């Protein structure tokens, strides 16, 4: 899977999972939608990442890294509440985010090797 596809997968995960949690919560919080907003921004970066635009790719990596750290607090909150469904949703977002970061790093390494040739 290429970096742009991993970014798309992560974007969709970051949009769908928070919306699901927000819409099914008994007392929803607007802050639960922060990952969805980041997901929309990453989705907007998809074309630039696919076209290997360096600036857009680096912006996408930075947002992906920020959201990874930002998801730690919701995970700990879900664990404290013993909310298994919320734990699964946050873990899905964390796993897709890590996967996207790995693919970004791999693509950067590949691009550097291609430039050196």
* C-alpha distances out from residue 80 to 20, 28, 61, 101, Å: 20, 17, 30, 27
What radius of gyration do the chain's Cα atoms show?
A: 15
Q: Average pLDDT in the 91-112 region? A: 95
Q: Where do the domains of the chain lie?
A: 3-22+33-116
Question: pLDDT tens digit string along 13-63?
Answer: 999 999 999 999 888 889 999 999 999 999 999 999 999 899 999 999 999
Q: What is the pLDDT of residue 53?
A: 92
Q: How confident is the model at residue 117 (pLDDT cuts 50, 70, 90)?
A: confident
Q: What is the pLDDT of residue 66?
A: 97
């Amino acid at each position: 899977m290429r970096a742009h596809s991993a970014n798309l997968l992560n974007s969709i995960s970051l949009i769908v999972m928070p919306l699901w949690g927000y819409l099914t919560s008994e007392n929803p919080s607007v802050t639960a939608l922060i990952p969805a907003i980041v997901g929309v921004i990453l989705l907007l970066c998809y074309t630039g990442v696919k076209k290997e635009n360096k600036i857009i790719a680096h912006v996408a990596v930075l947002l992906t890294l920020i959201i990874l750290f930002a998801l730690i607090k919701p995970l700990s909150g879900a664990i404290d509440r013993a909310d298994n469904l919320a734990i699964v949703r946050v873990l899905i977002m964390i796993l897709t985010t890590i996967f996207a970061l790995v693919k970004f790093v791999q693509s950067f390494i590949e691009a550097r090797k291609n430039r050196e040739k």
